[in-house]
Structure 1
Amino acid sequence: MLAQFRTVELNDHYVYVCTRLRAEHSPELGISGLPRPAREAVYDIAYYLQTFAGMASLGVAGERELLALLHTRVPQVWNALRPYVEKERETGPVGPQLLALLEAFAARPEALRERAVHNLLERARSGRTTRLAR
């Protein structure tokens, strides 16, 4: 997953969703009403980040560590997608659980994300390899 994080395509989809999606397409379209290239960008970045949220929820990876790595991207993507997801939840076949893990992960307090980033940077500077402080 970290290799995918470095791909140009994923990063282009992230930038598109956060900067151009709303300017080019109304949220009233939901996700399924978007043209294919926009839909691909939405699904690619949203489900990629939701996978991290699922890993944290299941205890497969530490939530604080993931928040440190993804601290700005998750809330930015969720804020950009929220109106599309809300419309899709009303009209689409998936219903209210569509991207619910991403929504919950994005709702983590900013202070928690900032503390996780600070701890990660301090750990890197000191050369420590232990887990982030809880």
Structure 2
Amino acid sequence: MATSETQRLSPDVASLDSLHWVGIVAALVSAAVHLLLGVRMLPSGMGISFVLAGLGFLGAVGLIVLNYRRRAVYAVGIPFTLVQILLWYYVNFVSLGKSFPADIGTLGAVDKIAQVVLIAVLVVLLR
């Protein structure tokens, strides 16, 4: 049932500025890393969690492009991404006893840089 109050979801890239695009690229980088690593680890629980995290980043990008509740996506994206960083640190350097920063690895470094950039962008966009 279509009414004047019903909005169609369609891309709204005209309303995205350069800061949005930096955040989108950062989220896509993190999504790609999570999906790549997650698929490699399937069917383990860790693999499933990585795939879900990657899909979470992709879903958020989709919501931003569709201009669907952007402020809510920014607000949820900050703790979501921060938890990713904290879990990564805990799993790798507390649980597995890797040496920080020597054992970060290329994918870990790329992902964490993208996530720090993403958090900074989200904070600015939310303000």
TM > 0.5: no
TM-score, normalized by length of structure 2? 0.37
TM-score, normalized by length of structure 1? 0.35
| More contact order relative to length (CA 8 Å, sep ≥ 6) | 2
